[in-house]
Amino acid sequence: MSIFALASLFVAQRTGVVGPGAFLHYAPDRTCDLINIAVDVEVDYKGKTVKGHVVNTMSPLRNGLTQVHLMAAAPVIIGSVSVDGSSAHFTQTGDDLAIDTAPLTKGKSIQIAIDYKIANANGGGFGSGRGGWHWIVERDGQPNHVGFWTQGEAEYARQWVPTWDYPNDLATSETRCTVPADWTVIGNGVMVSNKLSADGKARTYDWKSTIPHATYLLTLCGGPFDVKKDKWEGVDLWYVVPKGEGDLIEDSFGDTKDMLSFYSKVLGYKYPWPKYAQDAMFDFGGGMENASATTLQESALTDKRDGFRRMASLNSHELGHQWFGDTVTCKDWGDIFLNESFATYMQMIYFEHSRGRNGYDREIDNNTRSYLAESRRYKRPISTKFYTNGEAMFDSHTYPKGGVVLHTLRRFLGDENFYAGLSLYLHTWQHTPVQSAQLCRAMTEATGINCEPFWDQWFLKPGHPVLDYTWTYDAGSVKLHVSQSQSTADGTPIYKIPGKVGLISGTTFREVPVTLDGADQTITIPLSAKPDALILDPDHDYLREIPTLHWAASELPFILKSAPSCLERNEAMRQMMAVENPSDEAIRQVAEAFRADKELIPIFPSIRILISKARAELRPMYLEMLNHPDFQRRADAIDALAALPADPATTTAVKALITQDAPIVVSVNAINALARWDLKGNLEVYKKALTITDRRNAVKSAAQRAIDRANGTG
């Protein structure tokens, strides 16, 4: 499940993770081992009903059982139940479906067949916190805004198919789905058949997965689609979007093969499923990692004018789940980090691979900030059995905090050891529900490094280190004073952290290892001369909060120029410009840093910090940036130029940026700049811009606003 869905998903439950109503949770007892689930559904879209038949093949886990338990919930209505072909009595209490049987023999499989229907299923969009079966309702003027999708996580599979609906049991699956003849249906595994009915009005798709998966990962997506098929190393790739949006497939999914290759190589475990479908669906929020067939929000589709691979974050997160969550699945929701923290971190390392260190460092920082915001309200262990319900665990402790703690584990072990441990974990526990201790064991066995102390302080205890540091230089050594000020009243520990200190002397940067292990400690670092600047944890090797950076003004230019992470360099720039009247030298140094920053993912994400200075001498730099590889840098450069008086050369350069092929944000800002300089004099430019198309009509809207203002109607 993608973190994009978290903004509106399960808000009430999340705030109660450690509050009233929380209690110990354990995976439920099972009467049988679910071996296979075979679902056959007939879709009546006009009537908004589903007629279903499911066969659950199960192996009893104990001798003498006379009752089997499955799950079924509204809007599912049970019609009849049979066991091995004989009618069976059943009772339904809440979500529990109890089926009476003759005494069962351990290990001797049985088949439980259930006829059911879903009448007027009205599942909400995923972002609203509901799942089950969702109808995509018709809209006037949008003939392709029809179809359906299913959503199983956390425990919503039971709302569209009666089965065992908890992640402590995995099974193979088959889904047969009959829909209107012009629709396509995507399911788990490989497509066995695609048959048109005799009257040509209906089509039945048969999908089969021979690899076991949790039932919350069972999926069906149906509707009129544009589908592009491809292959990667023998794996079928399906790119699925609503009909009419096929032109967005390449820009939205063009890096899928690179993701597959990178993940397979770095994990030492090839993509494990026979196909991978990415299904962009109306009404869906975020993404859901159904086994071999991810469901994604249609509104996330992008074109290249939006920016560099704008869908990569969502796509890489959900693809990462195909290993972590789908191949190896958490046994209970208290260890959902084994799914979601990993998918979050897989997205981070893909950004490191595809966007370099700046992209990776920003992901670490953004995720840290997201977690810290939640930690102001509550703290909990990443791995815990104490919570209100499973949905409450899908919070910023599981996603961003867990992702950054995996980064911390990687830095602690080193890359080779870290990935060796993950490879052993995947190979050892593939197609198995697992708990946190099994990951710890794999990391320990692969490396020889006992990971239990790391687990204890980072995964099994709440909180995080809150650091404060200052330094002085005297008599041939640096005296570094570090305190850990986090409260330990809630079980948060005083952390033991193998870390580093960065020392900058002129343009020379070097690192010195240090160990943080006390609430208050002073570390002596022998050094022949006073450094120009000092940074604690310069590579952001671990999760931490440093509320106040006691950097002296004299340190800032050195940090700006020589710190290894873009995060410290940005902070130094912010502090240099935060004073009311920065010196000419400070502005020169900042401008020089911007001018040298020409990476696709810039060291400094925005030049807006200089716009308020409105310095005419910076015009040449802003003009240079109109060709920067980062779209937002170009757009910000236009805003910076707009803050200066117009001149003919600048006006010509800005007008040239309003084209069908230009980045959308650049064209929008260019229209706004022209309107600021000469609202009525550029009327013909705005009118021409009305012909520029983009899926959100951003350029047209900007042009129309300018026209309305010029005509006195806006």
Question: Which residues lie below 8 Å from residue 156, measured CB to CB, with a gap of 6+?
Answer: 123, 130, 131, 132, 165, 216
Nearest to residue 290, comparing CAs of 279, 306, 301? 279
- Cα 265 to Cα 54, 270, 317, 413: the distances in Å are 38, 7, 17, 19
Cis peptide before 75 (omega within 30 of 0): yes
3-state secondary structure 369-411: HHHHHHHCCCCCCCCCCEECCHHHHCCCHHHHHHHHHHHHHHH
Locate the DSSP E strands across 506-575: 508-516, 520-526, 533-536
User: How distant, in Å, are the alpha carbons of 637, 640, 667 from that of 706?
Assistant: 20, 19, 13
**Distance, CA of 198 to CA of 660 (rounded, Å):** 47
Cis amide linkage into residue 154, ω under 30° from 0 = yes
**Residue 538, amino acid:** P
Q: How far is CA 610 from CA 72, 407, 602, in A?
A: 60, 33, 16
Distance CA(62)–CA(104), nearest Å, equals 8
Element (H, E) at 670: helix 664-677
CB atoms within 10 A of CB 522: 12
Cα–Cα distance, 477 to 472 (Å, whole number): 9
- Comparing CA positions, the residue from 684, 10, 124, 4 lying closest to residue 393 is 10
Non-local (6+) Cβ contacts of 245 within 8 A are 226, 280, 298, 301
Q: Which residue has the tokens 């190589």?
A: 265
Element (H, E) at 177: strand 170-180
* Two tokens, residue 59: 């192996």
Q: Which whole-number Å values give the CA distances from 368 to 144, 488, 597, 604, 669, in the listed order?
A: 40, 20, 25, 19, 31
Sign of CA dihedral 553, 554, 557, 563: negative
* Distance separating alpha carbons of residues 637 and 304, to the nearest angstrom: 20
pTM: 0.95
Cα–Cα distance between 191 and 210 in angstroms, integer? Answer: 12
The answer to whether residues 328 and 432 touch, using CB atoms and an 8 Å cutoff, is yes
Give strand pairing partners of 432. Answer: 328
- Which residues of the chain are under the pLDDT cut of 50? 4, 6-16, 125-129
Q: Are strands 202-214 and 170-180 parallel, antiparallel or unpaired?
A: antiparallel
pLDDT tens-digit readout, 86-103: 999 999 999 999 999 999
Longest dimension (CA), the chain: 94
What is the Cα–Cα distance from 556 to 571, expressed in whole angstroms?
9
Please name the residues in contact with 474: beta carbons below 8 A apart, sequence gap of 6 or more.
none
- Angstrom distance (rounded) from CA 665 to CA 635: 6
Nearest-angstrom CA–CA distance, 629 and 397: 34
Q: Which of 119, 146, 115, 141 is nearest to 132 (CA)?
A: 119
CA dihedral sign of residues 58, 61, 64, 65 = negative
Q: Return the closest-CA partner of residue 128 out of 299, 6, 300.
A: 6
- pLDDT computed for residue 128 by the predictor: 44
CB 99 within 8 A of CB 67: yes
Q: How far apart are CA 661 and CA 699, in angstroms?
A: 12
Q: What is the pLDDT of residues 585-598, one digit of tens each?
A: 999 999 999 999 99
| DSSP element (H, E) containing 114 | strand 110-119
